[in-house]
């Protein structure tokens, strides 16, 4: 008799570098005072380097495991949608903690359902195109461009422009 659950895939393990960073941050006498690993925009270049590959594996796992309808599919261009990147990272790290207790796992599934609803609201009709590999830049980009530059000449805008140039 074959096991009917043998085809269940394990959740992708976070990168070793990230696991070591988490352990260092949570040590009782930690000297590490860095950002949480799910705050992608705050991570150093060293810590962010392994994240795209892992988060892509997480998206593939989520799609394989949960996406039974087209609107449930995380698009392959998820990294070009800043909000999705942040949410997927938080969801991935929350899942690693959730399976410590059955009740937490149920709550994680509720969080996942809310993530899918927010993803669909954010992507709107563009989500259909993204899901089949035809990504378009943010439809509201023109509205964001209407904001005048920050008065203090913050480096935030130049960093955002650099990131946009890297993904183009």
Query: Could you read off the pLDDT tens digit of each residue along the chain, which spans 168 residues?
Result: 789 999 899 999 999 999 999 888 887 666 667 888 999 999 999 999 999 999 999 999 999 999 999 999 999 999 999 999 999 999 999 998 899 999 999 999 999 999 999 999 999 988 999 999 999 887 777 777 788 888 875 555 555 555 555 544
Tokens 């996942």 -> residue: 112
Environment class of residue 151 by beta-carbon count within 10 Å: exposed (0-12), middle (13-18) or buried (19+)? exposed
Which of 41, 75, 42 lies closest to 60, judged by CA?
75
CA dihedral 42, 48, 52, 53 (to 10 degrees): -150
Annotated domain spans of the chain: 16-135
Q: Tokens at residue 26, please?
A: 């949570």
Query: What is the 8-class DSSP label of residue 109?
Result: H
Under a CB-based contact definition with an 8 Å cutoff, are residues 50 and 64 in contact? Answer: no
CA angle at 61 for the pair 76 and 132, rounded to the nearest 5°? 25
Distance CA 59, CA 120 (A): 15
């Amino acid at each position: 008799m074959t096991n009917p659950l043998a085809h269940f895939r394990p959740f992708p393990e976070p990168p070793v570098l990230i696991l070591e960073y988490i352990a260092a941050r949570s040590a009782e006498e930690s000297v590490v005072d860095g950002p949480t690993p799910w705050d992608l925009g705050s991570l150093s270049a060293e810590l962010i380097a392994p994240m795209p590959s892992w988060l892509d594996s997480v998206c593939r796992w989520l799609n394989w495991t949960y996406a039974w309808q087209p609107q449930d599919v995380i698009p392959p261009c998820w990294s070009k949608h800043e909000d999705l990147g942040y949410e997927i990272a938080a969801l991935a790290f929350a899942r690693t903690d959730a399976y410590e207790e059955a009740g937490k796992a149920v709550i994680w599934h509720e969080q996942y359902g809310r993530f899918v609803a927010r993803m669909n609201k954010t992507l709107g009709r563009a989500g259909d195109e993204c899901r089949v590999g035809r990504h378009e830049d943010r439809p509201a980009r023109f509205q964001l461009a209407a904001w005048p530059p920050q008065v203090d000449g913050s480096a935030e805008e130049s960093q955002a422009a650099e990131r946009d140039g890297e993904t183009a």
